[in-house]
Amino acid sequence: MNLIFLGPPGAGKGTQAKMLGDRRGLVQLSTGDMLRAAAAAGTEVGRKAKEVMDRGELVSDDVVVDIISHRIDEPDCADGFILDGFPRTVAQAEALDRLLDEKAKTLDAVVVMNVDDGRLVERITGRFTCANCGEGYHDTAKRPAVEGVCDRCGSTEFTRRADDTEETVRSRLETYHAQTAPLVDYYKARGKLRAVDGMAGIETVAEEIDEVLENA
Ligand code: ADP
Ligand code: ADP
Ligand code: ZN
């Protein structure tokens, strides 16, 4: 099964993609994670991307389409994947349609997580991540069971993203509404859209995703 998780920054895409991926054996493909890895590696693409990301703007369509196109060819994607944070523009969605066609793959559904802008600011400013395994946490909504120790891997090192500040969140939200929200209609028109209430608790959202995917 090949899916897209769509929603504003902080909606819970990464959290739910990891959980659904574990439940169903699907690979999570996060363009944000891939771009941050490129930035950390100090590649030309990564350095340029970091400047754009720190402003809360979008990296160019060509760059992300190229990354995703290659990543989907990896053997671990054969049994299905969840695109988390891609596509983010109509041009990316059109490019994805073309490349799935070429690779004889199908898109089964697009799950959109709806969360009010006001709530997203606290989601993002409270977000932190295990530096070792990438498990996501939140200052109030999801703390490790043992303080300072990752539930998943036992690591004691955590990181916060450079772009997870209140200021940058505002521009990321503007970018979302201007450039990414049109994808809701794009996928609705193609009969792929499944909406869930992203304001609910993490476990409730996970259950709702299972429900909307029953007939996908
Ligand atoms: P969030 O999960 O908060 O939405 P991401 O990790 O998905 O954030 O993305 C972080 C940043 O990486 C974005 O603000 C953008 O600059 C860049 N980025 C990620 N995915 C894409 C994409 N598909 N197209 C363009 N830029 C992207
Ligand atoms: P996205 O990938 O869409 O940017 P994340 O999955 O990283 O969003 O979630 C953003 C933050 O909000 C994280 O700190 C995460 O632990 C927390 N979070 C995710 N889903 C929920 C939820 N349903 N309720 C409360 N907090 C949540
Ligand atoms: Zn961990």
Distance (angstroms) between ligand 1 centre and the Cα of 31 equals: 6
pLDDT at residue 215, as a whole number: 79
pLDDT at residue 40, as a whole number: 94
The pair phi, psi for residue 204, each rounded to 5°, is -65, -40
Mean pLDDT over 54-82 rounds to 97
If one residue of 30, 31, 34 were mutated to test the ligand 1 pocket, choosing by the most ligand atoms within 8 A of its CB, it would be 31
Nearest CA to ligand 1 atom 3: 9
Ligand nearest to the CA of 66: 1
What is the distance between the alpha carbons of residues 44 and 48, in angstroms, rounded to a whole number? Answer: 6
Q: Which atom of ligand 1 is nearest to the CA of 57?
A: 16
Among 61, 84, 52, 67, smallest CA distance to 163 is for 52
Mean pLDDT over 154-176 rounds to 96
Query: What contacts 24+ positions apart, CB below 8 Å, involve 126-130?
Result: 127/10, 127/160, 127/161, 127/164, 128/158, 128/159, 128/160, 129/158, 129/159, 129/160, 129/161, 130/155, 130/157, 130/158
What percent of the chain stands above pLDDT 90? 99
Q: How far is CA 214 from the centre of its chain?
A: 21
Q: Contact 124/169 with Cβ under 8 angstroms?
A: yes
Pocket of ligand 2 (CB under 6 A): 7, 9-15, 123, 126-127, 136-138, 141-142, 200-202, 205
Q: Name the pLDDT band for 153 (thresholds 50, 70, 90).
A: very high
Distance (angstroms) between ligand 1 centre and the Cα of 83 equals: 12
If one residue of 4, 51, 53, 169 were mutated to test the ligand 1 pocket, choosing by the most ligand atoms within 8 A of its CB, it would be 53
pLDDT at residue 26, as a whole number: 98
| Mean pLDDT score of the chain | 97
What's the Cα-to-Cα distance from 63 to each of 38, 92, 135, rounded to whole Å? 12, 10, 26
Q: What is the pLDDT of residues 23-56, one digit of tens each?
A: 999 999 999 999 999 999 999 999 999 999 999 9
Q: Which atom of ligand 2 is nearest to the CA of 201?
A: 23
Answer yes or no: is pLDDT of 123 > 90. yes
pLDDT at residue 216, as a whole number: 79
